[in-house]
Amino acid sequence: MSDSLIEIYKTHAEAGHKYTYFLLTAAGAGIGLIFQKTDGASFSRWLLPAGLAALFWGLSFFLGCLSLRNYRYSIDLNYQMLEKSKQGASKGKLAEGGELFDKYNKKASSCSNWQFNMLILGAICLVAWRLTEMTQVYLEQPTLTTTSDKETGTTRLQQTKVEQ
């Protein structure tokens, strides 16, 4: 493999790692945000989207860790195969190592894709939660209505709740 191809591979691998760490950080920040915003809140149906967001972000974090672990395993296998090839290992042994290498690379790629999907689902749930919060505030907010008394000619303001 030429030096330029090796450099491209290294750059690509480094960018993939940075992306995975970025998603890990975003998921961790999302979980922290949910816990901070719901601190002291009592359980209710209005918190269900917030709970789902935390669950999806937790899954995203877990999948990111699995992705990094599987990638590390594939690198370790690659190193072991290089060492065995230098020692004159049979092609059959190297082929077995290559199959394992491909298996771990596929797992890492799948975990990375699902990590992103779970992060997006968590963000959607966060938006849904904020919208339900705004709906809840609207439904519980009293409104002012005016009533007129024709006999006395006075107008009164009354507070009423919006009907659900």
Alpha carbon distance 13, 21 (integer Å): 12
> Angle at which helices 3-37 and 48-86 pack, to 10 degrees?
160
Query: Model's pTM, two decimal places?
Result: 0.75
Q: Which of 161, 121, 111, 119 is nearest to 140 (CA)?
A: 161
In sequence order, the β-bridge partners of residue 154 are 149
Q: Model confidence over 99-158: pLDDT tens digits?
A: 888 888 899 999 999 999 999 999 999 999 999 988 887 777 666 566 777 777 776 655
Domain count, the chain: 1
> Which pLDDT value is given to residue 142?
63
Residues of the domain holding 51: 3-161
